Structure 1
Amino acid sequence: MPERRACPTSTSASFSELSYSYPLKLLSPPSHADAPGPVRIVYVLSYGGGLVGGDKIELDVEVQEGARLVLLTQGSTKVFRARDPSNRTQQHLHANVHAHSLLLLLPDPITPYAESYYSQVQTFTLHPSASAIILDWFTSGRAARGEVWALGKYRSANEVFVQGKRVVRDVLLLEQGELGRRMQPYACYANVFLFGPLVQGVLRALKERYEKIEQMQRSKPDEFVWSLSILGKAEKGRNGEGGDGAVVRCTGRETEMVRLWLKDALSGASEVVGRDVYDKAFV
């Protein structure tokens, strides 16, 4: 079972354990000098750039007190066609984020090919003083080959627990039928979950941006649409140190449109991990 443990040592961070097995590979480049704290990056890669039917990935992440971990990928995760629908591709991730630590999960999107079957479960356990930005997004498929919402089945579930209390349970299920009609004209959908004191600057900027949106009736769908839901102060720890949480949902006619918006909207995270580190996301 692949596992990562990030531990701080004064102003730097190291891994007490970084292990993996096929079909997964974990790579961690050297630390960046401009990082404002004990920050490390891990790239989560798959052999061949994608996953096939029957692949099952289980990933455990432990971010120790005071550490800051950024999880990235290099290109979208492709989910290939499954010959047998019962032989689906699975990914399970569990992250435990300790006191005063930070997890940024900023992968490239999942790209499900035609007749692919994919199931993902991600569970995050946060200390009340921990922070996290969790990005979960996917595309319509290989549009260049005419595979637009041609997947067989796609399921993604995200759960977030703070101080033992579940504060988010978000489940998405897509199945064939009239999927293309329901999902078009959009080609990419994204959900972002934000928690904790270190991301309050990002959240404030999102609130200001959202307040400027003009609500008006339109004759045709917008090129890009987004929403912001505040979880609120009720989800803080007993000492009030957690800060507000939020869920951002967005969709666009093109994946690149969504990518550029996310990079700009979440750019305040560069203040807690460093500009060089943040710029490695959304490339």
Structure 2
Amino acid sequence: MSSMVGESIPAGTGHITCDLHSSTVVFSKLSSSYPLKLLSPRVSEHGVAIVYMLSYGGGLVGGDRMQLVVEVGKECKLILLSQGSTKVFKTRASDRASTRLRRSSPQPSSPSLQAVTTQSMQVTIDPDSALFLLPDPVTCFRSASYTQVQTFHLARSASIVLLDWVTSGRRSMGEDWDFLRYYSVNEVFVEGRRVARDVLLLDNSSLDTQPASCSSGPSRTSLRTLKDRLAPYSCYAMLFLYGPQTHGVVTDLQAKYRSISIFKRTVPERFLWSLSPVDDGKGTVIRAAGVDTEDVKNWFKEALKGLEAVVGIDEYRKVFL
């Protein structure tokens, strides 16, 4: 559903507002503009709605800027998904030369100069409601530069399941952590109090800004690429869970984590994961890494299966396809 006739909204922006009427989630606003597209299929589960976040042309290019506002009304359960990974193509012109404008700050400078692809999301979750943000991973192509900032404001009795993950790129095309820069920030507030802030910066741009010879530091040839540092894994993920509607899943994950045996290995595991409590145990953070993206995907699909009791079996089957 796009914006209503006569309504003008800036390019790349979207707005989702949903409320519960009887047992049906109704969208009072579901609008978007190119290159963002929002679609909501009909679902049978009471109190649950699904929205797919899509991009025209199958991906985003350098300079694209996406802004999404989401408002989840009282007692609603909203599942936000994507159809396939979020593909980020390389910056437009002079992408290598533009990286010389970068400085040491993790925040990007002018997007117009660097042709950075940016996405931002502002979310409000009302009492007794829940957001399940479970998109496919971000896949940055060679020379791409991507920045993502997502902020979530929860009422005290609200819940959230937030998955943020990134792949190494198009491995079938010989691309393995060959993008320029990936920067992702997730902040979660409950009743105005920040309970979590997660930042991930993956930066290859220093390889372009380092001079051929430098008397005060290591030579250019000694700098380690992202591939060197992140191998052998091709997918990294962060999962954040908070609120009463996540308790069943968290209890299962805690039991599974306690059963893990830790011992020294001669070769890396194909899949690794960890669990950490946050905000005095009210929230939980899962971090995972896999040699293949499918390893990570299949693990999360099984680990979050307890959500079937929350959103419905048929609705959960639409996740991790």
Report the TM-score, using the length of structure 1 for normalisation.
Answer: 0.94
Residue segments in structure 2 that go unaligned for 5+ positions in a row: 1-12, 99-113, 208-224
Q: How does 1:111-122 map to 2 (within 5 A)?
A: 111-122=139-150
Mapped pair 1:57 → 2:66: yes
Question: 2:262 corresponds to which letter in structure 1?
Answer: Q
Determine which of 23, 28, 31 is the counterpart of 1:19.
Answer: 31
Which runs of structure 1 show a deviation greater than 4 angstroms over 4 or more consecutive aligned residues?
A: none
Determine which of 65, 74, 78 is the counterpart of 2:83.
Answer: 74
Deviation at 1:10, TM superposition (A): 2.1
* Corresponding position of 1:240: none
Q: CA RMSD in A?
A: 1.0
Determine which of 267, 271, 290 is the counterpart of 1:252.
Answer: 290
Question: 2:175 corresponds to which letter in structure 1?
Answer: E
Question: 1:154 corresponds to which letter in structure 2?
Answer: Y
Rounded to whole Å, the distance in 2 between the matches of 1:268 and 1:230 is 19
* Corresponding position of 2:138: 110
Deviation at 1:163, TM superposition (A): 1.1
Q: For 1:113-132, what per-residue CA distance to the aligned partner results, in whole angstroms no more than 9, with x for missing partners?
A: 00000000000000110001
Mapped pair 1:149 → 2:161: no
* Corresponding position of 2:312: 274
SS of the residue aligned with 2:245? helix
Mapped pair 1:6 → 2:18: yes
* Corresponding position of 2:106: none
Rounded to whole Å, the distance in 2 between the matches of 1:51 and 1:109 is 14
Q: For 1:125-153, what per-residue CA distance to the aligned partner results, in whole angstroms no more than 9, with x for missing partners?
A: 00110001000001000000100000011
Rounded to whole Å, the distance in 2 between the matches of 1:165 and 1:205 is 27
Instruction: Count residues in correspondence.
Output: 271
Deviation at 1:9, TM superposition (A): 1.1
Q: For 1:228-250, what per-residue CA distance to the aligned partner results, in whole angstroms no more than 9, with x for missing partners?
A: 00115x47xxxxxxxx2100000
Determine which of 171, 182, 185 is the counterpart of 2:229.
Answer: 182
Residue segments in structure 1 that go unaligned for 5+ positions in a row: 236-243
Report the TM-score, using the length of structure 2 for normalisation.
Answer: 0.83
Higher gyration radius (CA):
2
Deviation at 1:219, TM superposition (A): 1.1
The answer to which structure, 1 or 2, has the higher relative contact order (CA under 8 A, 6+ apart) is 1
Rounded to whole Å, the distance in 2 between the matches of 1:6 and 1:194 is 21
Rounded to whole Å, the distance in 2 between the matches of 1:264 and 1:10 is 32
Mapped pair 1:230 → 2:277: yes
Rounded to whole Å, the distance in 1 between the matches of 2:84 and 2:198 is 24
* Corresponding position of 1:239: none
Rounded to whole Å, the distance in 1 between the matches of 2:167 and 2:177 is 8
Rounded to whole Å, the distance in 2 between the matches of 1:106 and 1:269 is 12
* Corresponding position of 2:246: 199
Deviation at 1:80, TM superposition (A): 0.2
Q: For 1:61-108, what per-residue CA distance to the aligned partner results, in whole angstroms no more than 9, with x for missing partners?
A: 000110110000000010001133401000000110000001000000
Rounded to whole Å, the distance in 2 between the matches of 1:245 and 1:8 is 26
Question: 1:269 corresponds to which letter in structure 2?
Answer: L
Deviation at 1:6, TM superposition (A): 1.2
Rounded to whole Å, the distance in 1 between the matches of 2:120 and 2:254 is 31
Question: 1:224 corresponds to which letter in structure 2?
Answer: F
Determine which of 26, 41, 44 is the counterpart of 2:50.
Answer: 41
